[in-house]
Amino acid sequence: MTQIEYALENKTTEEMKTVAKEENIDINVLRSKIAEGQIVIPANINHKNLNAIGIGKDLTIKVNANIGTSQSKSDLDNELLKLKTAVEAGADTMMDLSTSNDVEDIRNRIIENCTVPIGTVPIYQTLIEAGSVENLNIDAYLEVFEKHAKSGVDFATVHAGLTRAIFPLIKKRLMKCVSRGGSFLLAWMKYYQKENFLYENYDKILEIAKKYDVTISLGDGMRPGCIADATDEAQIHELKILGELAERTRQKGVQVMIEGPGHIPLNEIEKNMELEKKYCNNSPFYVLGPLPTDIATGYDHIACAIGGALAASKGADFLCYVTPKEHIGLPDIDDVREGVVVTKIAAHIADIAKGNKQAISRDNKMAHAREEINWQEMSECAIDKKKFLELRRQECEKNPDLKKADYCSMCGPFCVFKIYDEKES
């Protein structure tokens, strides 16, 4: 049985207990939200070393980090190091987006070493094995999907909402399609003049997902790739279909979340969150950004955190990280770490805005530690403890007097906490 089926029967799983404890949420409330489809716990029955997490309504905002090889760069050890780095930096989930020829081996090794939920996009491997878009077909896809499910993949992106009706709507776009999986399917539909085989055979995909409790992450092939295309007809048309598919998914006893934009100007982010909740019956929303500008290249992770913080404070449940290498190349280990930390900051800002008591309490502890100039306590509260300690070490190395001083090099003896101390007055 899947987590949603247990919830519908009012049964509590070990994974639900873990999530309730971690999030400090009543188990009955958690279970009813899973039953309603507002929360998912991606937990494949074959992912043995998994620490379960929940994604959705009233839970803390989660952060995903993408890793994986490309046809230009393939190094398993390096990908395993990225995995370790991302999880240590606080990634709540990982996606393996490998597209080199040894994807099968890479995925299995990543899952073996991954204690957080792992996601994949099975259409990538299907295309690699098929050799070309024209050779794609549903049987090849189902075979790959089952391999992923059997190996322990907890959530899988399925671009089933992209239908032939999209073609006239794409014509109006500045950038037609920026989703890799989406582009494969558009090319296939155009070549054969047939309907998307993932849409037509969606129930067959659900049968496999149900067998292993794979959470379906309904992919947004029409996510805008530039702010000029944001919230356009193509995007909303697909979103409505994703809402229908999400309902079918839950009825089959399979957990589901919705993937979302993309590039969205700041003033349209709230509206996008509302539309997803409206058309997809409050399904958890997994956003790939949003990037509120197209020109922050080299700093896209920062642009993404600005958009992500607003999106998550207005309804998004799950943020996919962006690294400084976005739109430039495959991220290296430092990029992965930077991307995770910056997106964790966005998630935490949103948790505060939503009134999460644990998040607010951590900030209050930091404020106390700062007032007391307690460096150790400050490091414990910081999102990136490692960077905090390193910067402090560098400061003390330059000026050893600072090690014992009750101020830092910013204001020196004019430290406000020394000049005005209520305890002494």
User: What is the residue-wise DSSP string for 300-346?
Assistant: HHHHHHHHHHHHHHTT--EEE---TTTTTS---HHHHHHHHHHHHHH
Contact 172, 165 (CB under 8 A): no
Please report whether residue 417 would count as binding ligand SF4 according to CB under 6 A: yes
Q: How far is CA 65 from CA 97, 120, 152, 295, in A?
A: 10, 12, 18, 22
User: What is the residue-wise DSSP string for 15-38?
Assistant: HHHHHHHHHT--HHHHHHHHHHTS
Q: Based on CB atoms, which residue is closest to ligand SF4, 209 or 381?
A: 381
Please report whether residue 410 would count as binding ligand SF4 according to CB under 6 A: yes
Q: How far is the CB of 419 from ligand SF4 (least distance, A)?
A: 9
Stretch that binds ligand SF4, among 42-50, 165-173, 201-209, 405-413 (CB under 6 A): 405-413
Stretch that binds ligand SF4, among 31-39, 173-181, 313-321, 414-422 (CB under 6 A): 414-422
Q: Based on CB atoms, which residue is closest to ligand SF4, 192 or 417?
A: 417
| Helices (H), ranges, 196-232 | 197-200, 202-212
CA-to-CA distance for 257 and 283, rounded, in angstroms? Answer: 6
Contact 171, 217 (CB under 8 A): no
Stretch that binds ligand SF4, among 44-52, 108-116, 337-345, 402-410 (CB under 6 A): 402-410
Q: How far is the CB of 414 from ligand SF4 (least distance, A)?
A: 7
Kindly identify the residues of this chain, within the stretch 7-26, that bind ligand SF4 according to CB under 6 A: none
State which residue has the least CB distance to ligand SF4: 415
Q: Based on CB atoms, which residue is closest to ligand SF4, 330 or 373?
A: 373
Q: How far is the CB of 417 from ligand SF4 (least distance, A)?
A: 5
Please report whether residue 415 would count as binding ligand SF4 according to CB under 6 A: yes
Q: Which token pair is 89?
A: 């930096």
Contact 261, 287 (CB under 8 A): yes
Q: Among residues 327, 328, 416, 421, which is the contact residue for ligand SF4, using CB under 6 A?
A: 416
Task: State in Å, rounded, how far the first CA of the chain is from the last one.
Answer: 65
Q: How far is the CB of 422 from ligand SF4 (least distance, A)?
A: 15
Q: How far is the CB of 418 from ligand SF4 (least distance, A)?
A: 7
Please report whether residue 295 would count as binding ligand SF4 according to CB under 6 A: no
Q: How far is the CB of 373 from ligand SF4 (least distance, A)?
A: 6
Kindly identify the residues of this chain, within the stretch 349-378, that bind ligand SF4 according to CB under 6 A: 373
Stretch that binds ligand SF4, among 95-103, 187-195, 198-206, 403-411 (CB under 6 A): 403-411
Instruction: Point out which residues pair with 259 in neighbouring strands.
Output: 286
Q: Based on CB atoms, which residue is closest to ligand SF4, 76 or 415?
A: 415
Residue 179: what residue type? S
How far does CA 209 lie from the centroid of its chain? 20
Helix axes 266-279, 300-313, angle to 10 degrees: 50
Instruction: Using CB under 6 A, list all residues that contact ligand SF4.
Output: 373, 407-408, 410-411, 415-417
